[in-house]
Structure 1
Amino acid sequence: MTVPESPIPTSRYERGLNRLREIDGDAGEAVIASLADIAPDFARYVIEFPFGDIYSRPGLDLKSREIAVVAALTALGNAAPQLKVHIGAALNVGCTREEIVEVIMQMAVYAGFPAALNGLFAARDVFASRDAEPRDTV
């Protein structure tokens, strides 16, 4: 998915793609690429609306937005792949592991223990994956 880079995004798509890259990095682009053969229009919608419009609004910083998304996806209880992407995104935008775990635990009160347990297992997987990544030794 090659889009010419411009210093000032001029469209919802460009703004969304830049925000997606900032938040989710490779994981976000992998989700978009996975839709190319079945629903390329849906991939465009994901870039334009959530990332081009909502995530680009000035009312919340990215850390607050990702805390909200982790909480919502945990509460849904049926969105483990998306939750894992957003736990990674939360780490990318400055959330600590402890903050993520606390947000997920808080959801036990509102969404139940099964949803919180599933969220904690998703977090454990993401943290383990991050720990297994090679580190730069410069």
Structure 2
Amino acid sequence: MSNIRYEIGFEQLSKIDGEAGHKVVDSLKDVCPDLAKYTIEYPFGDIYSRNGLDLKSREIATVAALTALGNCQPQLKVHLHAALNVGCTEEEIKEVVLQMSVYAGFPVALNGMFVVKEVLAERLAD
């Protein structure tokens, strides 16, 4: 049985996160396959595929939100890679994280910037 939401979501996930997104989904299959399915269908099949914002804008918003939450470093790391994959520059990403220091505080901005540093180092090493 075909699930169009899943198909659209998987296509969006591939464009945005590539292998990193697939690894997250695969890591859930043995513990909670439904969560993997929902992660593809709702965020990527329903939200990321909407008109109104391009992928770059959606990733900027996501990086800001994950930085502000302060306890989502693994997800922030995935979305920092995604932001770079869809056209965000290093400067734009650093400015988004820095902006969060004003509204979410210095600790979360510092933590976010350390994740940025890690992601940039990984990409440089590849």
Amino acid at match of 1:19: Q
How big is each residue's C-alpha offset from its partner over 1:111-133, in whole Å with a ceiling of 9 and x where there is no partner?
A: 00000000000000000000000
Distance 2:10 2:47 in 1: 13
Structure 1 residue aligned with 2:31: 38
Distance 1:44 1:124 in 2: 31
What TM-score, normalized by structure 1, do the two folds share?
0.89
Distance 1:85 1:10 in 2: 25
Unaligned runs of 5+ in 1: 1-8, 134-138
Structure 1 residue aligned with 2:117: 124
Structure 1 residue aligned with 2:64: 71
Name whichever structure is richer in helix by fraction: 2
Q: Percent identity?
A: 66
The count of aligned residue pairs is: 125
1:62 and 2:55 correspond: yes
1:10 shift after superposition: 6.7
Distance 1:41 1:69 in 2: 23
Structure 1 residue aligned with 2:6: 13
Q: RMSD value over aligned CA atoms?
A: 1.0
**Matching of residues 74-85 of structure 1 within 5 Å:** 74-85=67-78
Larger radius of gyration: 1
